[in-house]
Structure 1
């Protein structure tokens, strides 16, 4: 299905052509002066130089050719050469009918269905999720859902930090605390216990303790490095202990991610790439790309077009240890060979841009990916408190993500309880949890990913303004009207949209018409904030129409049914949008 603006632009192009000018000058945009017109075309300004003619003369010529247009009810030329346009109510209505009947409201499937891997840049195991993990989870989940809606095959990988020194630190501290465990007995040949010798709470306390000790005690750090080497070399006991660490951590992570309604198809980590590193290193050496520099193995990635310094990518340190770049490159090999990826999208803090530029360039130069493979890095800004600094607890520490979710849910429960005395506590808490998730996700996603933003609980949980709860309140309002319509003994099936009766109704209809173009744009640009901006405008358009129209009191049955059809479509589009953003709406609130 063609996009609404494409159809209008085609009609405008015919007007230019009929007047003796190039059809491509007829590109139409939404008016930036809605008080004057609905759409505008600036083609006459662009054509003035080519045709050696005043823009207003060209605009007048074109406007004259559009007097009998099937699309425009008004096309007027205004100085110095703009074309102000209004679209016929009948044209808007017919487009919406086609959109309502189309699959996915007219969003076309991709010309080529891609296999896309979304790397959420996951957390380190043995550590609790904190607020710093929120953005990668929320943005990554939405990007995954947007691409799936478009029709691509999308694989989400949490990509855990489960390898390296942190593992050695945990094992060293466990050995100091419980030296009697069989994992540390080199003569032990039996089966290791199936149950982990620690809880997730103990594990979360062990790591920071071990990390602190290693900074103060060189011998302790040396022991941790030795434990890391033994683990990575395949020590049987250490590997069994490591599997316990992973199992306990992942079980806890799944619970926390579930509270965010975030799901992964793969629970892979850096450890999965480790067996591929020797082959990768040999490949880089044999191709002549990798060379030794100050004892380390590096690959030059500088390009002539670089405007700032671009250091070589370090593949192996002087002691032979691999780095994040090595692991990421080995993971690319895995994703190309086993998942046959066409596109790799990485979520990470925007301060890691240099790392990804280096990794992507090595991958391209070494032929780890095809020339057509898309490598995309979505760098996100920080989530800050009201003081403009990274979000902290009142005590100044990094806040655990589960505590942030709990605080939001409690605030929403307080608001729901105050406004709805007819709800049981159980139902009020259930509704509060749904609204709370919208507050968190919309609060994050409504900002462009690369920008820092202020996490303001008071604003994000408000039922007014550009917030998740406001969007949900709008959906629930529509649900309520549709339910009351059915209570009157009328059906929501086989409803027919009618031409707009007033300005606010037409504005709502026009807003709906731009859904498929917006969704395509959000997908192409990996930009969930565009969906947020769209549904905020759509919710505003609906609420203006609602306040000006007595829908359920309307006696003209045909007119009323047309309005109900419009409400039903608005609800379905809003629900589709919030689903790809990663949250849902309750039936009442």
Structure 2
């Protein structure tokens, strides 16, 4: 296993500072922002000089003298008041990259212990078609799942279905209103019930808005829905059977959307799975003094003395006995801890839910629902907006369905491919496959390349371009390398030992070597945009290398063999990072 270049160089510089009786922390090395001066730089001499009351350039000169003795540098120089610029010896750089390339994970698993991580994302609801609001939760959540899987963590991904509470009661009563003679509404009948659902998923998506609207104008209907919700949660057989039908057909529908987006879940649990645990939890919290009554409701106070903002208590049970989302979320945490004993539980949910999760997490810690050391985090994100800067809507002002968004992206990708004349070499099946992969790459990269808390404008025409910071651009770089390697195989060219003869080669090697810091930063910040930046930089460096350096046309056999190997390593890393972003690369385009 190979320690990253920045870690190795920082350790060397740290030892040099230590030898001068200065803090080794001043030896931190970073990638140079001015490539003409060096590949790396260390600016610690300025801070060290201030602390030691010495001349910074004098300190920097002594550090350079010590680093020069390691034999790892082809060039060491000083700039300004004491900035140290470094350029690596080619043998050290190529040796480092060769060692990294032997590892399937490019050194990213080094010194990492496997952790058990639960990622809660997706969040679809019974009877509701997935819409644009589910796009970011799914894409970001799946990328983080793949990132943690790459690191060797034990991952549980839970879609956590919205399948309980008043919406279910509203649906039950709306269905009953239209078909009162269905066996599910006969309180004296206990089964068996039909295997076939009496309603389709399309019907549910009409029934729920109608029921919701009716509940706002008809108090009697709303009260009947509340009563139905109560009876459902208490286990009324007919309601449970009807609820199961609604849940099953809704899951089947949403699975199609998730499959299109390449999202994988190990569990398809939901709020309903907490139903039996909630009474046990409420009893414990009361017995141990964590909950209290407030205006007839059961609450857990979560306000702290240091709070500078309003922090309401977490309501667990309303005065009428109904439980809240906070109740099911707290019960879910308890169940996950009891069943899985995770090190972390991550919730990929809209940033507008931040107060809710802060309340739930505080309650979980206060009520000892989690063990000390279990990390709870809400991974929020911004909205997907239209070109008017407002949340994306259909032309008639409705919510954009996720499936139509995906179909539009695939259609736009196909249009771009046809206009570029790429389609002439492909049959219909391959053209469909390429269009699907390009379309999904376009929307995924466009979403993930933004800092996740930022809002962004959805612009398919821009996202599907094969240039700039787009998914298709990154994808095309990988396809170009695949094509080159196929031609090399046809000409029976083989790869060989890495050597460096041009700056474009060195720059590409350094870009590949930067994956370890990238993965660490993306994991610590739960930020897929850092992965996007890395793969963009990598494809930029590859394209510069491809422009400046002959590969198949290189006459020197050793140089050609080295460049072929470098291309293969670059391809493997590009595809690896794109996979973490949920992007699949076709064999050709």
Alignment TM-score, normalising by the size of structure 1: 0.97
Which residue of the partner structure matches residue 204 of structure 2?
Answer: 203
Q: Which of 467, 471, 479 is 2:470 aligned to?
A: 467
Q: How many residues align?
A: 586
| Deviation sequence 1:239-288 (CA, Å, 0-9, x none) | 00000001110011111110111111110000001111111111111121
Which residue of the partner structure matches residue 433 of structure 2?
Answer: 430
Which residue of the partner structure matches residue 53 of structure 2?
Answer: 52
| Deviation sequence 1:391-450 (CA, Å, 0-9, x none) | 111222111000000000001111112322222222211101011111111111111111
Q: Distance in 2 between matches of 1:36 and 1:517?
A: 22
Which residue of the partner structure matches residue 143 of structure 1?
Answer: 144
Q: Distance in 2 between matches of 1:201 and 1:491?
A: 57
- 1:19-168 superposed matches below 5 A: 19=20, 21-108=22-109, 111-120=112-121, 122-168=123-169
SS in 2 for 1:370: coil
Which residue of the partner structure matches residue 573 of structure 1?
Answer: 573
Which residue of the partner structure matches residue 235 of structure 1?
Answer: 236
Offset of 1:458 from its aligned partner? Answer: 1.3
Which residue of the partner structure matches residue 563 of structure 1?
Answer: 563
Does the aligned pair in 2 maintain the 1:110–1:152 contact within 8 Å? no
Greater CA drift, 168-177 or 153-162: 168-177
Which residue of the partner structure matches residue 497 of structure 2?
Answer: 496
Offset of 1:525 from its aligned partner? Answer: 2.1
Which residue of the partner structure matches residue 215 of structure 2?
Answer: 214
Please tell me whether residue 445 in structure 1 is matched to residue 477 in structure 2.
no
Which residue of the partner structure matches residue 482 of structure 2?
Answer: 479
Offset of 1:453 from its aligned partner? Answer: 1.2
Residues 1:186 and 1:95: Cα distance change in structure 2 (over 3 Å): same
| Deviation sequence 1:551-580 (CA, Å, 0-9, x none) | 111111111010000000000011111111
Offset of 1:5 from its aligned partner? Answer: 0.3
Which residue of the partner structure matches residue 407 of structure 2?
Answer: 406
Offset of 1:21 from its aligned partner? Answer: 3.9
Does the aligned pair in 1 maintain the 2:191–2:238 contact within 8 Å? no
Q: Distance in 1 between matches of 2:288 and 2:33?
A: 55
| Deviation sequence 1:341-398 (CA, Å, 0-9, x none) | 1210001111111111111111111111111101011011111111111011122211
Which residue of the partner structure matches residue 336 of structure 2?
Answer: 335
Which residue of the partner structure matches residue 517 of structure 2?
Answer: 517
Q: Distance in 2 between matches of 1:160 and 1:146?
A: 23
Which residue of the partner structure matches residue 359 of structure 1?
Answer: 360
Does the aligned pair in 2 maintain the 1:109–1:150 contact within 8 Å? no
Q: Distance in 2 between matches of 1:374 and 1:325?
A: 18
Does the aligned pair in 2 maintain the 1:99–1:106 contact within 8 Å? yes
Q: Distance in 1 between matches of 2:128 and 2:544?
A: 48
Which residue of the partner structure matches residue 382 of structure 1?
Answer: 383
Offset of 1:73 from its aligned partner? Answer: 1.6
SS in 2 for 1:345: strand
SS in 1 for 2:258: helix
SS in 2 for 1:509: helix
Greater CA drift, 132-141 or 305-314: 305-314
Which residue of the partner structure matches residue 258 of structure 1?
Answer: 259
Which residue of the partner structure matches residue 458 of structure 1?
Answer: 461
Offset of 1:186 from its aligned partner? Answer: 2.3
Residues 1:13 and 1:253: Cα distance change in structure 2 (over 3 Å): same
Does the aligned pair in 1 maintain the 2:120–2:347 contact within 8 Å? yes
Residues 1:109 and 1:509: Cα distance change in structure 2 (over 3 Å): closer
| Deviation sequence 1:446-473 (CA, Å, 0-9, x none) | 1111111111111111110111100000
Q: Distance in 1 between matches of 2:68 and 2:517?
A: 28
Q: Distance in 1 between matches of 2:238 and 2:15?
A: 76
Q: Distance in 2 between matches of 1:109 and 1:238?
A: 53
| Deviation sequence 1:93-127 (CA, Å, 0-9, x none) | 11001101124111125643221111115121110
Which residue of the partner structure matches residue 543 of structure 1?
Answer: 543
SS in 2 for 1:66: helix
Greater CA drift, 114-123 or 263-272: 114-123
Greater CA drift, 238-247 or 24-33: 24-33
SS in 2 for 1:553: coil
SS in 1 for 2:451: coil
Offset of 1:180 from its aligned partner? Answer: 1.6
Q: Distance in 2 between matches of 1:501 and 1:139?
A: 40
Please tell me whether residue 526 in structure 1 is matched to residue 530 in structure 2.
no
Q: Which runs of 5+ in 1 are unaligned?
A: none
Greater CA drift, 186-195 or 41-50: 186-195
Does the aligned pair in 2 maintain the 1:436–1:461 contact within 8 Å? yes
Offset of 1:189 from its aligned partner? Answer: 4.4
Alignment TM-score, normalising by the size of structure 2: 0.97
Offset of 1:23 from its aligned partner? Answer: 3.3
Residues 1:84 and 1:189: Cα distance change in structure 2 (over 3 Å): closer
Residues 1:111 and 1:544: Cα distance change in structure 2 (over 3 Å): closer
Residues 1:308 and 1:463: Cα distance change in structure 2 (over 3 Å): same
Q: Distance in 2 between matches of 1:303 and 1:409?
A: 50
Residues 1:136 and 1:508: Cα distance change in structure 2 (over 3 Å): same
Q: Distance in 2 between matches of 1:274 and 1:171?
A: 18
Q: Distance in 1 between matches of 2:21 and 2:9?
A: 19
- 1:250-289 superposed matches below 5 A: 250-289=251-290
Offset of 1:307 from its aligned partner? Answer: 2.0
| Deviation sequence 1:278-316 (CA, Å, 0-9, x none) | 111111111212111111111111122222121211111
Does the aligned pair in 2 maintain the 1:165–1:225 contact within 8 Å? yes
Does the aligned pair in 2 maintain the 1:301–1:310 contact within 8 Å? yes
Offset of 1:19 from its aligned partner? Answer: 5.0
Q: Distance in 2 between matches of 1:256 and 1:178?
A: 30
SS in 2 for 1:143: helix
Q: Distance in 2 between matches of 1:289 and 1:187?
A: 40
Residues 1:373 and 1:386: Cα distance change in structure 2 (over 3 Å): same
Does the aligned pair in 1 maintain the 2:346–2:378 contact within 8 Å? yes
